[in-house]
Structure 1
Amino acid sequence: MPSPSYALPLRLPYRVTPLTEAQAAALSEWRYEPPYTFYHWLSWADMQAQEREFGDPAIRREQYAAVLDADGTFIGFAQFFPLTGVTRLGLGMRPDLCGRGAGLAFVQTIVREAMRRAPGDEIDLEVHDWNMRAITIYERAGFVISDRYELTLAGSPQTVLCMVYAPSE
């Protein structure tokens, strides 16, 4: 079932909470418009059966979080993937909210949580080079492009940018 549509603006502040099983199941059903269909997840049943990402209860508990608005509306998720000295972010906003002006506060909320979880860690993320909507928001939030490389994703080579959080002082 698609996520319900909510009128913007969502109420600030956004907050980060543990990702519940019900939210993870809802996340599996999110469907993005082209060209963002690449970001679709497997069905919840498949995520659980394969113990992939947030379908694995331990990974969900250790790495994933829900982002809620001030009214408690589930607006997106974050993954805080630990690397040595680095927290790599994965994130996604509910499809009906993308491109509607809520992204900057969303990303800033996730960055603050990453800093709280792992003080002193570098924070980075990967983004497809064609996703200018996301790249623009990440740059506005203080990320800079540090690397460009090819990864094989979904069976085909994709150009990905690594962006590092480096806010101007």
Structure 2
Amino acid sequence: MDYTFTVMTQEQAEWIAYSWHYDGEYSFYDMEADPDDLEEFLNAETRGDSVFAVTYEETLAAFLTVELTGSQTADIGLGMEPGLTGQGKGMDFLQAVIEFVTFEYEVERMTLSVAAFNVRAIKVYRKAGFKDAGTFLQETNGRTYEFLKMELAV
């Protein structure tokens, strides 16, 4: 699969924020579930040039956030369009993310955080080579959740 990464527009941010709704426990990832996250995602200045819309065959399929946390480390966040999740497309998408971030940012390491209950995503991350680096608790969506920090040497 060929994915295209472009800096996210305001229109794309609003589309994701207000129309991407996940089923069941994955509704945790709905942008509207946390007002602070929603506000940050919709703020063009906050997004800057480090939040990317990811298209596949000219359709908005995912998003990617990249934050450089060290001279050779990028912390990433990502999400797929709800209708594409749970269909075995995660590994191709993740490989495209790894290639894009490695090329664009010339990093040697990537980190990410994932909700501990999200076993589907954790399985994909581990299969791609990410290693567990610890857990932490974080307040979000009105409650405290456990997250798994993962890292990948590239």
* Alignment TM-score, normalising by the size of structure 2: 0.88
Q: Does 1:13 align with 2:2?
A: yes
2:68 to 60, 64, 82: 82
CA distance in 2 between counterparts of 1:156 and 1:68 reads 32
Matches within 5 A, 1:1-169: 12-28=1-17, 29-42=19-32, 52-69=39-56, 71-85=57-71, 86-166=73-153
Runs of 4+ in 1 over 6 A off after TM superposition: none
In percent, how many aligned pairs have the same letter? 28
Q: Find the counterpart in structure 2 of residue 8 from structure 1.
A: none
For residues 96-137 of structure 1, the C-alpha deviation after alignment (integer angstroms, 9 at most, x for no partner) is 000011111111111112112321342110001110000011
Q: Which moved more, 1:152-161 or 1:93-102?
A: 152-161
CA RMSD for the aligned pairs? 2.1
Q: C-alpha displacement at 1:57, in angstroms? A: 1.2
For structure 2, the 5+ residue unaligned runs are: none
Q: C-alpha displacement at 1:84, in angstroms? A: 2.2
- Which has the larger Rg? 1
For structure 1, the 5+ residue unaligned runs are: 1-11
1:62 partner SS: coil
Alpha-carbon distance change, 116 to 33 in structure 1, aligned in 2, over 3 angstroms: same
Structure whose residues are more often strand by fraction: 2
Alpha-carbon distance change, 84 to 26 in structure 1, aligned in 2, over 3 angstroms: same
Structure whose residues are more often helix by fraction: 2
2:22 partner SS: coil
For residues 132-153 of structure 1, the C-alpha deviation after alignment (integer angstroms, 9 at most, x for no partner) is 0000111122211111122222
Give the residue type in structure 2 aligned to 1:96: G
